[in-house]
Amino acid sequence: MKILVIGPSWVGDMMMSQSLYRTLKAVHPSAQIDVMAPAWCRPLLDRMPEVHQALAMPLGHGALALGERRRLGILLRGNHYDRAYVLPNSFKSALVPFFARIPHRTGWRGEMRYGLLNDARVLDKTAFPLMVQRYVALAYDKQRVNSWNDLPQPLLWPQLQVEEEEIAEITSAFNLTDNRPIVGFCPGAEFGPAKRWPHYHYAVLAGKLIERGYQVVLFGSAKDHEAGEDIRHALSEEAKEYCLNLAGKTVLDQAVVLIASCQAIVSNDSGLMHVAAALNKPLIALYGPSSPDFTPPLSHQAKVIRLITGYHKVRKGDADQGYHQSLIDIQPELVLAELEQLLATVKES
């Protein structure tokens, strides 16, 4: 069986979609799974053994480009796919499998995609409260699965593959060969500081970890570099020597391998948080207005810290520097205590 998946366009969503690929391989062991997604996703897809091939989606996130999608679909007809799974809910995301004339096209109904999808599922959000459950449910006939309780348990969570040789090579390339074990911080988040733990809390935590013999490495994109510098500037001169800001200085694949080299990760609700979970790293996930009730880190090594309940659609913080008060209220001492407990549990096992 040959399967085409139209994948998500965000790091976190792409990571959670691996649960669908793993499930499809469990249900159809001989299946060949190709994933069409933005080119930047390839480093993640290449580390998913269930994925046969990553196909670049050349169109931007918001572009309809009907003619170009038709051209892509026609080009794919020669691949003779048996099934397609469309993970984004947009109308345009279902066009390529339709133009490719893939016989069985599955997805949640989304933006009125009748016809484009001939297996359009109507989503009951209460029946599938987690995004990962919604992805995995698509692997089964809709008559069989009416709620998350009908899914085989436990779910097959994301698992990225990184080799020890890669870790040794990349840590050497970035001069991380000091005897100090690494704790990684992911201080960035989409939509700005409202979803970020304050830099001054990160700095306090970094200082305490450095005092305990760790080195701290900051990960993120170029737009997170300033947040990383804010953390470093808040450290003492002695501590700065053991805090390296790599935000914006790595490509995604390098960041994945470097995260795999860490003893633990402390992260805001972000795409890199889901990468750390898929690498099975001890992980402290810090949530404020966004809720872990829909997209939690999928790992038994993860500890979520959140002091409020419910979902708050906040794009701008309610406190100084754009931070959200619920994240300000999470004190570094609490995070350190949870992190030390998590690390101790890992050492015991």
DSSP 204-271: HHHHHHHHTT-EEEE---GGGHHHHHHHHHTS-HHHHTTEEE-TTSS-HHHHHHHHHT-SEEEEESSH
* pLDDT at residue 313, rounded to an integer: 74
Residues forming beta bridges with residue 37, ordered by sequence position: 56
Query: Which one of 150, 176, 201 terminates a domain?
Result: 150
Query: Of all residues in the chain, what percent carry a pLDDT higher than 90?
Result: 85
At 186, list the tokens.
């992911």
Rounded (10°) CA dihedral 256, 258, 259, 263? 160
60 and 117 assigned to the same domain: yes
Q: How many structural domains is the chain composed of? A: 2
* 8 A C-beta contact, residue 330 and residue 307: yes
244 and 337 assigned to the same domain: yes
Residue pointed to by tokens 């279902």: 94
Residue 156: inside a domain: no
Residue 24: inside a domain: yes
114 and 194 assigned to the same domain: no
Cα 343–chain centre separation: 22
* pLDDT at residue 315, rounded to an integer: 64
Average the pLDDT over 196-211 and give the result: 97
* pLDDT at residue 179, rounded to an integer: 85
Sign of the Cα torsion 132, 8, 19, 255 reads: negative
Question: Strand, coil or helix: what is 186?
Answer: strand
144 and 179 assigned to the same domain: no
106 and 174 assigned to the same domain: no
- Per-residue pLDDT band for 170 (boundaries 50, 70, 90) equals very high
216 and 315 assigned to the same domain: yes
The C-alpha angle with vertex 290 and arms to 277 and 37, in degrees rounded to 5, equals 55
* pLDDT at residue 148, rounded to an integer: 97
* pLDDT at residue 312, rounded to an integer: 78
Residues 16-46: pLDDT tens digits?
999 999 999 999 999 999 999 999 999 999 9
* Cα 97 to Cα 93: distance, rounded to the nearest angstrom: 9
Query: Which one of 99, 121, 150 terminates a domain?
Result: 150
Residue 15: inside a domain: yes
- Per-residue pLDDT band for 306 (boundaries 50, 70, 90) equals very high
At 200, list the tokens.
């001054």
Phi-psi region of 286 (alpha: psi -120 to 50; beta: other; left: phi over 0): beta
Angle formed by the axes of helices 164-173 and 252-260, nearest 10°: 110
Residue 121: inside a domain: yes
Domain that holds residue 320: 164-348
Residue 87: inside a domain: yes
195 and 218 assigned to the same domain: yes
195 and 342 assigned to the same domain: yes
Question: Which among 248, 275, 195, 190 has a CA at the least distance from the CA of 12?
Answer: 275
Q: Is the pLDDT of residue 134 over 70?
A: yes
* pLDDT at residue 63, rounded to an integer: 72
What pTM, to 2 d.p., does this model score? 0.94
* 8 A C-beta contact, residue 199 and residue 328: no
Which residues, in sequence order, are CB contacts of 337 under 8 Å at separation 6+?
Answer: none
Question: Which among 4, 35, 187 has a CA at the least distance from the CA of 98?
Answer: 4
- Per-residue pLDDT band for 349 (boundaries 50, 70, 90) equals low
Write the single-letter amino acid at 230: D
134 and 22 assigned to the same domain: yes
Question: Strand, coil or helix: what is 141?
Answer: coil
* 8 A C-beta contact, residue 268 and residue 187: yes
Average pLDDT over all residues of the chain: 94
* Cα 190 to Cα 207: distance, rounded to the nearest angstrom: 26
CATH of the domain at 208: 3.40.50.2000
* pLDDT at residue 278, rounded to an integer: 98
